[in-house]
Amino acid sequence: MSREEVMERLNGVFIDLFDDESIKINDNTTANDIEDWDSLEHINLIVAIEQEFNIKFNMNEVTSMKNVGEMVDIITSRIGA
Amino acid sequence: MKELEYPLDIDYILKNKRHIKKELLNNNFSVEKRIAILGGSTTSDVKNMLEIFLLNYGIKAEFYESEYNKFYEDAVFANEELTRFNPDIIYVHTTVRNIRAFPNITDTEEEINVKLNSEINCFYEVWNGLKKYNAIIIQNNFEHPSYRLLGNREVIDIHGKINFINRLNSLLVNYANENKNFYINDINYVSSCFGLDNWFNEAFYHMYKYAMDMRAIPYLSYNLSHIIKALYGKNKKGLVLDMDNTLWGGVIGDDGIEGIKIGSETPDGEVFYAFQKYLLEQSTIGNILMVSSKNEEENALAGLNHPSSVLRPDDFTIIKANWNPKSDNIRIIADTLDLGADSFVFVDDNPAERKIVSDSINGIAVPDIKNPEDYIRILDRNGYFEVISLSQEDLNKKDIYKSNAERKSLMNESSNYEDYLRELKMHAEISEFKDIYLDRITQLIGKSNQFNLTTRRYTLNEIEEISKSDEYIKIYGKLSDIFGDNGLISVVIGKVDGSNLHIDLWLMSCRVLKRNMEQAMLDELVNIAMSKGIEKIYGYYYPTAKNKMVENFYEEMKFTLIEEDDTHKKYELNVSVYEKQNNIIEVN
């Protein structure tokens, strides 16, 4: 799976979770850009991504990711893309 | 919504909770409640999931959440916000993480007892503190811990955490047995079904203070929602069962009586035997069994008379075995028993039959029961019949519905309806509330939807108050006849205001509809009203999705309509010119 494909599938997860068809994420997207993405919702996002890509984040990764770009980096490294 | 029934589609629910909520909010809601969640850990998704499950049951809830881990403070100290919120239900979401001091390995027995007392006292303070809200309390018990320092000895040794938790849980049980309006959300069971290895997620706890894995939360909230929907009359009342490959293996019409699989001779037969035993157990707690099967009736009965069959024809309230569409049969069954078809669970191994029934009958539960070895678990985990209390009425329900069906057949034989009523030789007990009936009265108020003029709900506390108060005229009615005792089936509560009486509540169980009981109740109400100097009685009708059957009730009872708009109708009855209306039922 290419980085672009990961980004696209990830975008689908965002759309489902926040129930907002208009979401379009990119490397620089952060919690500030999406209204409902607060600290409690971050964990729901993590769980949804883990399910989507069949991976597990470790605690350090969950707390340290700064933006969507870093998220995609971790996912791609984990699924060996 | 299928995804919200066991086995829950966890991935879908977690990812789409916003969308699910939006969808469900398009429905109408007959029940709206205020629920306060006092948490010993993060409650955000516990609330979100509970909200969805309740919406799916037709209950719209507003929520209050305590600040993180402030369950003790919120309960024990004065709390203006919670007072203003005025909760119907207070849910205390505490877990093993909230046990402050477990035994140390060096503790003496006495020191451990002191620790146990200190833990339970904290909860006694919480529950006592919550009494001022007059709400129903639902309390988690404690799940077992994530590790066992002493291994298997944990459960035996008083120093073991498991031993300590089991003792604490049994103190919770004692309190629940001694206090009304107090229920336990058994997370000890839920967590063991889910699996403790998956239940605990240390990362989620340390990051977000969720006491369990996010994936466990829907199961926790689903279990909790069963208690709440049962409290508000949303339980199912019976199971409509298919026969071939549902009650036994094989097709009796093709395989013959000796060919079907039931009994302990083969694994196939055993699995159906076990399922029938489960169904029999369900019927002993008052959940009725019915058959809707595409079969010749002769074959259907032969199957139930198979030497190894646990269930006998007599265990069923109604058996419909014919070639008509099952949805038609289910509607006929519902009419015969004066029940809503939406109060049934339809159990059929055939997905096509399930789809037709679930598409054509609104609100009926149609679980995807998978393989015969899964039937019991899938029915059981869905909590269709969650037991809030077990009354004598519940235990006799099977007989009650059976005699209902027998009455219908007498009615068909009688030349006219009044003759039929006389042949029933009915006897009623109608009187002001008595303490022994207050539980049953509250239960009936909680679950009557159709013959209910105002659909006002009262808690047991409120009913106890009303029962003692002179400001109310409050009567119950019990009815028996040649076919059996129907038990306590009608309640009327009127509020006295000078020489006026306002009827706040009038309800009756539909199974005694059109038996002249309505008239008998009014006669008695007027009698008591006259003795208290009442001149005018006012009746009110508030329409809901379910009480259309009584929209003209007060007209039929000879009240006069004096006010009407979209939300209500108001009627008046002049006591001084009232003439007795019941001359069929013998009263008191």
- Strand ranges (DSSP E) for B234-281? 238-241
Q: Do A43 and B18 touch (CB under 8 A)?
A: no
Chain centroid to Cα B534, Å, comes to 37
**Facing residues of B59 across strands?**
B31
Identify the pLDDT of residue B30: 79
- Spatial distance between the Cα atoms of B57 and B199, rounded to a whole number of angstroms: 26
Residue of B16, B18, B207 with shortest CB distance to A43: B207
Please report, for residues B54, B157, B218, B396, B397, the alpha-carbon distance to residue B403 in angstroms, rounded to integers and kept in the order given. 34, 54, 41, 11, 10
Q: Domain B2-231, what architecture?
A: 3-Layer(aba) Sandwich (3.40)
- B238-381 is a CATH 3.40.50.1000 domain: yes
DSSP B404: H
- Spatial distance between the Cα atoms of B290 and B425, rounded to a whole number of angstroms: 28
Chain centroid to Cα B299, Å, comes to 35
| Cα angle value B412/B416/B418 (rounded, 5°) | 115
Instruction: Give tens-digit pLDDT for B57-101.
Output: 999 999 999 998 999 999 999 899 999 999 999 999 999 999 999
| Cα angle value B566/B233/B212 (rounded, 5°) | 115
B414 with B422: CB under 8 angstroms? no
Give the HSE-up count for residue B542: Cα atoms under 13 Å, Cβ half-sphere: 11
Give me the tens of pLDDT residue by residue for chain B, a chain 588 residues long: 888 999 999 999 999 999 999 999 998 887 899 999 999 999 999 999 999 999 999 999 999 999 989 999 999 998 999 999 999 999 999 999 999 999 999 999 999 999 999 999 999 999 999 999 999 999 999 999 999 999 999 999 999 999 999 999 999 999 999 998 999 999 999 999 999 999 999 999 999 999 999 999 999 999 999 999 999 989 999 999 999 999 999 999 889 899 999 998 889 999 999 999 999 999 999 999 999 999 999 999 999 999 999 999 999 999 999 999 999 999 999 988 888 999 999 999 999 999 999 999 999 999 999 999 999 999 999 999 999 887 777 777 777 777 777 777 777 777 678 888 888 889 999 999 999 999 899 989 988 888 999 999 998 889 999 999 999 999 999 999 887 888 899 999 999 999 999 999 999 988 788 889 999 999 999 999 999 999 999 999 999 888 888 999 999 999 999 999 989 999 999 999 999 999 999 998
**Facing residues of B166 across strands?**
none
Q: How many domains does chain A have?
A: 1
- Spatial distance between the Cα atoms of B25 and A18, rounded to a whole number of angstroms: 17
Using an 8 Å CB-CB cutoff, list residues of chain B that contact chain A. 11, 14-19, 22, 42, 44-45, 203-204, 206-208, 210, 214-215
Q: CA of A60: which chain B residue's CA is closest?
A: B203
Can you list the alpha helix ranges (DSSP code H) found in B285-424? 297-304, 326-337, 351-360, 375-381, 392-395, 397-413, 417-423
- Spatial distance between the Cα atoms of B444 and B70, rounded to a whole number of angstroms: 36
The DSSP result for B491-536, as a single string, is: EEEEEEETTEEEEEEEEE-GGGTTSSHHHHHHHHHHHHHHHTT--E
Q: Could you tell me the sign of the dihedral formed by the alpha carbons of B368, B373, B374, B377, in that order?
A: positive
- Spatial distance between the Cα atoms of B41 and B200, rounded to a whole number of angstroms: 13
Q: Do B214 and A43 touch (CB under 8 A)?
A: yes
Q: How far apart are the first and last CA of chain B?
A: 48
- Strand ranges (DSSP E) for B203-271? 238-241
- Spatial distance between the Cα atoms of B459 and B455, rounded to a whole number of angstroms: 13
Chain centroid to Cα B79, Å, comes to 31
Q: Do B15 and A17 touch (CB under 8 A)?
A: yes
Identify the pLDDT of residue B549: 87
More confidently predicted of A1 and B409: A1
Please report, for residues B183, B203, B253, B325, B397, the alpha-carbon distance to residue B382 in angstroms, rounded to integers and kept in the order given. 18, 30, 32, 26, 21
CATH of the domain at A74: 1.10.1200.10
* Stretch(es) of chain B classified as CATH 3.40.630.30: 396-587
Q: Do B14 and A44 touch (CB under 8 A)?
A: yes
Please report, for residues B91, B193, B241, B532, the alpha-carbon distance to residue B173 in angstroms, rounded to integers and kept in the order given. 16, 20, 35, 45
Residue of A16, A44, A63 with shortest CB distance to B207: A63
Identify the pLDDT of residue B262: 95
Identify the pLDDT of residue A20: 93
Element spanning B540, H or E: strand B536-541
Q: Do A44 and B208 touch (CB under 8 A)?
A: no
DSSP B562: E
The DSSP result for A4-52, as a single string, is: HHHHHHHHHHHHHHHT-TT----TT--GGGSTT--HHHHHHHHHHHHHH
Identify the pLDDT of residue B405: 76
Helix, strand, or coil (residue B476): strand
Whether A81 shows a pLDDT value over 60: the answer reads no
Identify the pLDDT of residue B264: 84
Residues of chain B neighbouring A44 (CB-CB closer than 8 A): 14, 17, 45, 214
Q: Domain B396-587, what architecture?
A: 3-Layer(aba) Sandwich (3.40)
Residues of chain B neighbouring A36 (CB-CB closer than 8 A): 18
Q: CA of A36: which chain B residue's CA is closest?
A: B18
Q: Encode B479-500 in three state secondary structure.
A: EEECCEEEEEEEEEEEEEECCE
* Stretch(es) of chain B classified as CATH 3.40.50.1000: 238-381
Q: Which residues contact B117 (CB under 8 A, 6 or more apart)?
A: none
Q: Do B19 and A19 touch (CB under 8 A)?
A: yes
Residues of chain A neighbouring B17 (CB-CB closer than 8 A): 44
Helix, strand, or coil (residue B63): strand
Count of residues for chain A? 81
Reported for B490-497, long-range contacts at CB under 8 A and 24+ positions apart, including other chains, are B490/B517, B490/B518, B490/B521, B491/B441, B491/B444, B491/B445, B492/B521, B492/B525, B493/B458, B493/B466, B494/B525, B494/B529, B494/B537, B495/B471, B496/B470, B496/B471, B496/B472, B496/B532, B496/B534
Interface contacts A/B by beta carbons within 8 Å: 42
Residue of B15, B42, B44 with shortest CB distance to A16: B15
Q: CA of A63: which chain B residue's CA is closest?
A: B207
Residues of chain B neighbouring A19 (CB-CB closer than 8 A): 16, 18-19, 22
Q: Which residues contact B412 (CB under 8 A, 6 or more apart)?
A: none
Tell me the residue range of the domain where A32 lies: 3-79
Instruction: Choose the mutation target among B10, B14, B15 for the interface with A, i.e. most A CBs under 10 Å.
Output: B15
Q: Do B204 and A43 touch (CB under 8 A)?
A: yes
Pairing of strands B569-574, B536-541: antiparallel
Q: Do B208 and A43 touch (CB under 8 A)?
A: yes
- Spatial distance between the Cα atoms of B575 and B164, rounded to a whole number of angstroms: 64
Q: CA of B22: which chain A residue's CA is closest?
A: A19
Partner B, chain A 37-76, Cβ-Cβ below 8 Å: 39-40, 43-44, 47-48, 51, 58-59, 62-63
Instruction: Give tens-digit pLDDT for B390-437.
Output: 777 777 777 777 777 777 777 777 767 888 888 888 999 999 999 999
Q: Do A51 and B207 touch (CB under 8 A)?
A: no
pTM metric for this prediction: 0.78
Greatest Cα pair distance, chain A, in angstroms, is 32
- Nearest Cα to Cα of residue B402 among B281, B521, B321, B319: B319
Residues of chain A neighbouring B204 (CB-CB closer than 8 A): 43
Element spanning B163, H or E: helix B161-178
Q: How many CB atoms lie under 10 A from the CB of residue A52?
A: 17
CA distance A17 to chain B (A): 5
Q: Do B14 and A51 touch (CB under 8 A)?
A: yes
